[in-house]
Structure 1
Amino acid sequence: MTAVLRRAAALAAVDLDRTLIYSAAAAGDAAGLQVVEHLDGAPLSYATPASWALLAELAGQALLVPVTTRTAAQYGRVRLPVVPRYALCGNGGVLLADGVRDPDWDDWATATAAEAAPLPELLGLLEAVAGEPWVKTVRAAEDLFGYLVAHRRDAIPAGWLTDTTAAASAAGATLSVQGRKVYVVPAGLSKAAGLLRLRRVLTGDGAAPRLLCAGDSLLDAPMLLAADAAVRPAHGELHEQGWTGARVAVTTATGAAAGEEIVRWLLDRV
């Protein structure tokens, strides 16, 4: 990749689900939502029209980088108002440059994930309950990590989460709950690691751009702490845990309205 950042440029790294885009259940009472993602022809994710207009404005003033736990295929379903030049998928393990997967990045991600227990062992933590009635499916993502999808968030047993969090940590991985999904991801394969690596590659020996970040989950936390300034919504995994940081703001709104507030917050700081 060629360094593309201007010396004074800002890099705005933004999580997608429950930060910028929302399921109908997570969107709250915001009115006039627009569909931004379909699955099998059915609407899946939403955002406020204002947030989409503001996101296009943000992309014109900063290097906008979506940073998501989604696979590249899942990311491709989202219709952003602009096509970002770079996107980090797979929790930082996949780099798309102009929509094309970077093979050198794949090599880095594979080596980084290998610092934790092998993927079959991590998947085994989730597959152990695959037959339970509250579990919809267990899958591997990008051959890097695993996740479980429950039928309902409130059906996931708290005791199982506690035990599996400890087992994941012992295996060199992080457990995160995002809505109905439970992720087990190698600890070194983080959004923060991928984002900081991308910034180094793009700037080379030049001055690093100001880093602005937004996210809602435990997997976003290291990225938020690494930022020069960051914001999280007043909902989601981090909010439920009362998590914050010295340079991390919290929205006043929740749901899709918080997504709009986040984009305005980022624009104010570019």
Structure 2
Amino acid sequence: MIFASDLDRTLIYSERAIKELGKPEGWRLTPVEKKGNNWVAYMTENAYIQLKELSSTSLFIPVTTRTTAQFKRFVIFPEDIRIKYAITSNGANILLQGQPIMEWSNHIQKHLKQESVLQVELLSILYREGIRLAGERKQAEEWFFYYILNCLPSESERKSIEQLASQNGWRISFQGRKLYFVPKAISKGNALDYICKLEGGKAVVGAGDSLLDWDFLKDCHYRFIPNHGELARHLGTVAFEDESSIITKNSGVSAGEEIIQQVCKLLHFNPIY
């Protein structure tokens, strides 16, 4: 069975996310990400143990918007939790045994030039249209960028930003205080499809919380979505009508445990996958 999952705010939670979304009393957490000398992200102890077991019996593929360098801060991969592939930078990079597949990276570079305006041009267009984003701008390798916002834009401002980005070959996603701008050519779904063709199979189970995750979730037979995320708020709208996605009962770090428990049940009852 192929299990593809987003990490942040789906299976793994930063200290900020835990404070924002809450943690049930008495639940034990396992640290999974180290920045410098500090632990900065966690899973529940049960989720960690079950994911470790799951990764030994199925093909678990982390799918993240993080850059490759940010992804490598997760100390649990690949020593504790076995992985063959990882998708980073929202699908711009595919790692095989920790090394990028250059054929894929070159493919993305080609399509970027054909389908999207340059980042500097997009920023200029937003500025000309009166869009002012208060916050710190961060670069995700050479692929895309995001803002850590001081304050969230209004609904009308969000729609304007989304429309301008789309007209110029980009799309946006809000994840907490982060506003991502990603070229349309960069897709988690396309990256996962590439891996599935290499493996001669298909993604049976997927999990994710953001609109950027829908790219790969829509092609999974089973889909798990944390109830606190951007994607959960959009399900049921015209663009995301979907009766087969399962939204978690729990939110925050306990939603991550719920997802892994459900995936383990699927593996137990459907061993042919």
TM-score by length of 2: 0.85
Equivalent position amino acid for 1:23 in 2: S
Select the residue among 205, 211, 214 that pairs with 1:212: 205
Which residue in the other structure is 2:16 paired with?
Answer: 25
* Residues 126/58 of structure 1: CA separation in 2 closer, same or farther (3 Å cut): farther
Instruction: Report 1:50-199 matches (<5 A).
Output: 50-80=46-76, 81-114=80-113, 115-124=115-124, 134-135=134-135, 137-151=136-150, 155-158=151-154, 159-199=156-196
Equivalent position amino acid for 2:215 in 1: P
* Residues 139/109 of structure 1: CA separation in 2 closer, same or farther (3 Å cut): same
Match status 1:202 vs 2:199: yes
Select the residue among 211, 214, 225 that pairs with 1:221: 214
Which residue in the other structure is 2:271 paired with?
Answer: none
Once the two structures are superposed, residues 34-88 of structure 1 have per-residue CA deviations (whole angstroms, 9 ceiling, x without a partner) of 2211223222211101101010111112100000000000000012231411000
Residue 227 of structure 1: SS of its match in structure 2?
coil
Q: Is the 8 A contact 1:36 1:79 kept in 2?
A: yes
1:162 Cα shift? 2.2
Identity fraction in percent: 32
1:211 Cα shift? 2.1
1:223 Cα shift? 1.4
How many angstroms apart in 1 are the aligned matches of 2:124 and 2:28? 42
How many angstroms apart in 2 are the aligned matches of 1:269 and 1:188? 32
Residue 226 of structure 1: SS of its match in structure 2?
coil
Once the two structures are superposed, residues 226-245 of structure 1 have per-residue CA deviations (whole angstroms, 9 ceiling, x without a partner) of 11111111111112334562
Which residue in the other structure is 2:232 paired with?
Answer: 239
How many angstroms apart in 1 are the aligned matches of 2:131 and 2:109? 26
* Residues 32/130 of structure 1: CA separation in 2 closer, same or farther (3 Å cut): farther
How many angstroms apart in 1 are the aligned matches of 2:125 and 2:258? 37
Instruction: Point out the more displaced range, 236-245 or 48-57.
Output: 236-245
Equivalent position amino acid for 1:174 in 2: R
How many angstroms apart in 2 are the aligned matches of 1:97 and 1:46? 25
Select the residue among 32, 35, 38 that pairs with 2:34: 38
Which residue in the other structure is 1:6 paired with?
Answer: none
Instruction: Point out the more displaced range, 218-227 or 254-263.
Output: 218-227
1:97 Cα shift? 0.8
Q: Is the 8 A contact 1:147 1:182 kept in 2?
A: yes
* Residues 41/150 of structure 1: CA separation in 2 closer, same or farther (3 Å cut): farther
The CA RMSD measured in Å over matched residues stands at: 2.1
Q: How many residues align?
A: 252
1:202 Cα shift? 2.4
> Unaligned regions of 5+ residues in structure 2, if any?
268-273
Instruction: Point out the more displaced range, 113-122 or 102-111.
Output: 113-122
How many angstroms apart in 2 are the aligned matches of 1:198 and 1:106? 13
Q: Is the 8 A contact 2:203 2:219 kept in 1?
A: no
